């Protein structure tokens, strides 16, 4: 058998998954350019905090401040926050901020809440034991401080606003609406009210049933993106002081770090991200395997990123092996057979795809965040069943297979080119 190694989901106990194929199948792997990049060490993290772009070093910024908040991205993002948070805490302590004047907030936006297990995976046991860690609540406790030029109410987590030093940690990966994640997204939608989130996504961006997405938005579109511009205005109004973003390799390890003023650090990170997450576009295949790892509980992103390049009548195998299932999403998720969040956008019938197989040891009859229409998906628990299903349609010999190992965050190079 031909063995192909792909990354397991970001928060799994094991690092990789082996996919086996018959020896006489033509199997080709299409990794993103940054797949094998070296992970960063602690010294590199500290150096970045002390040499930010567009901002004083974090320690100097913290001098004279009394209350600090560290916002971190949630369980839908692969960022290993713990080593970064430890470095941040060290700088705060050196600046004279006491431990009991520091708290952490999970930037869940309109996603479901995290629990202690989730917090420990992101922050580590010691931080969770030693510092208060809170979920963001988009439905209650946000304070209104104004409105953006595009009409989005600047309604922000009250605990965040109560602090005079506001730090945030996240990652930059391609995004289907904002072009790239990271940057100001940690505040809008991260710690914004549900009304602010829905206005930004639906009214500003056009991502709602019956509307057309704004032409400036989409995968890899960063310049002039109205959603990100709105989020930047929102973040500046909210008083975000210092943003830290990482890029990741194929196994979700930080491979580069950018920090400082939210616009400048994000701009620098996106420039590198265009190279890191781009890959060759496969062609001439019978089967395309889309493995999700970084955002495994938002598996629809893999279909969104690669659907334009799926060849007519091919079999798509979506590898989405997350025991948590798909994330609860109060804006776009499902809350009944015909009921969804406030700006729910029902999935449409899949075009061009001959068959969609979802390979997962944890099937869902109707995922909380839709992947596709339930009738368009076949869920299989066992990889041998996947191979048998492919063989029954495409034959047992000479099947051509393309494997995209990070399909939820990697894009065809033409999508990410400036």
Do the domains at 2-32+279-416 and 42-275 have one common CATH topology?
no
Residue 350 confidence (pLDDT): 87
In the chain, % helix, strand, coil (3-state, to 5) comes to 30, 25, 45
Task: Please state, in angstroms and rounded to a whole number, the distance separating the CA atoms of residues 217 and 203.
Answer: 13
What pLDDT does 156 receive? 99
Report the first-to-last Cα separation within the chain, whole angstroms: 40
As to burial, measured by CB atoms within 10 angstroms (0-12 exposed, 13-18 middle, 19+ buried), residue 29 is: middle
Contact 383, 357 (CB under 8 A): no
Rounded to two decimals, the pTM is 0.97
Contact (CB, 8 A) for 88 and 167: yes
Furthest-apart CA atoms within the chain: distance in Å? 70
Spatial contact of 69 and 160, defined as CB atoms under 8 Å apart: yes
Give the pLDDT of residue 412.
Answer: 98
> Can you spell out the DSSP letters for 139-150?
TSSEEEEEE-TT
pLDDT of residue 13: 86
pLDDT tens-digit map of 9-53: 999 988 999 999 999 999 999 999 999 999 998 889 999 999 999
Alpha carbons 142 and 194: distance in angstroms, whole number: 9
Pair type for strands 179-180 and 174-175: antiparallel
Q: Work out the number of other CB atoms within 10 angstroms of the CB of residue 15.
A: 11
The Cα 409–Cα 301 span in angstroms is 8
3-state secondary structure of 393: helix
> What is the radius of gyration, based on Cα positions, of the chain?
21
| DSSP string for residues in 85-131 | HHHHHHHHHHTT--GGGEEEEEE-TTBPPP-HHHHHHHH-HHHHHHS
Spans of all domains in the chain? 2-32+279-416, 42-275
Q: What pLDDT, on the 0 to 100 scale, is given for residue 42?
A: 86
Tell me the C-alpha distance between 65 and 199, whole Å. Answer: 33
Q: State the fold for domain 42-275.
A: Rossmann fold (3.40.50)
Which CATH code is given to the segment(s) 2-32+279-416?
A: 3.90.226.30
* Low-confidence residues of the chain: pLDDT under 50: none
Asked if residues 311 and 283 have their Cβ atoms less than 8 Å apart, the reply is yes
Find residue 165's DSSP bridge partners: 68
Q: Taking a C-beta distance cutoff of 8 angstroms, is the pair 311, 269 a contact?
A: no
Alpha-carbon gap, residue 180 to 182, rounded angstroms:
7
């Amino acid at each position: 058998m031909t063995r192909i190694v792909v990354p397991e989901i970001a928060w799994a106990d094991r690092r990789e998954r082996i996919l086996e194929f018959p020896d006489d199948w033509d199997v080709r792997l299409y990794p993103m350019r940054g797949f094998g990049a070296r992970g960063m060490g602690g010294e590199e993290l500290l150096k970045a905090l002390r040499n930010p772009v567009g901002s004083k070093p974090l320690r100097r910024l913290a001098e004279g401040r009394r209350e600090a908040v560290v916002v971190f991205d949630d369980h839908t993002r692969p960022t290993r926050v713990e080593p970064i948070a430890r470095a941040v805490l060290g700088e705060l302590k050196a600046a004279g901020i006491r431990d009991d004047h520091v708290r952490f907030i999970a930037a869940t936006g309109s996603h479901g809440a995290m629990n202690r297990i989730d917090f420990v995976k992101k922050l580590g046991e010691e931080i969770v034991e030693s510092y208060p860690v809170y979920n963001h609540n988009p439905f209650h406790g946000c304070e209104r401080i104004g409105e953006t030029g595009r009409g989005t109410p600047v309604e922000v987590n009250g605990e965040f606003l109560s602090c005079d030093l506001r730090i945030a940690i996240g990652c930059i990966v391609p995004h289907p609406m904002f072009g790239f994640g990271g940057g100001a997204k940690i505040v809008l939608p991260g710690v914004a009210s549900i009304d602010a989130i829905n206005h930004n996504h639906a009214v500003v961006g056009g991502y709602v049933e019956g509307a057309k997405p704004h032409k400036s938005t989409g995968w890899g579109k960063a310049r002039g993106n109205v959603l990100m511009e709105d989020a930047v205005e929102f973040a500046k109004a909210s008083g975000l002081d210092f943003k830290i973003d990482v890029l990741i390799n194929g196994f979700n390890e930080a491979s580069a770090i950018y920090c400082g003023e939210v616009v400048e650090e994000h701009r620098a990170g996106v420039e590198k991200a265009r190279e890191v997450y781009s890959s060759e576009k496969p062609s001439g295949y019978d089967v395309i395997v889309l493995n999700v790892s970084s955002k495994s509980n938002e598996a629809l992103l893999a279909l969104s990123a690669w659907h334009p390049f799926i060849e007519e009548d091919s079999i798509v195998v979506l590898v989405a092996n997350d025991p948590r299932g798909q994330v609860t999403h109060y804006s776009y998720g499902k809350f009944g057979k015909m009921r969804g969040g406030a700006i729910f956008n029902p999935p449409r019938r899949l075009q061009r795809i001959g068959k969609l197989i979802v390979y997962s040891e944890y099937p869902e009859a109707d995922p909380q965040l839709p992947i596709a229409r339930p009738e368009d998906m076949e869920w299989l628990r066992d990889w041998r069943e996947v191979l048998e299903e492919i063989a029954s349609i495409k034959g047992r010999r000479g099947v051509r297979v393309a494997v995209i190992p990070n399909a939820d965050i990697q894009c065809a190079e033409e999508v990410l080119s400036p």
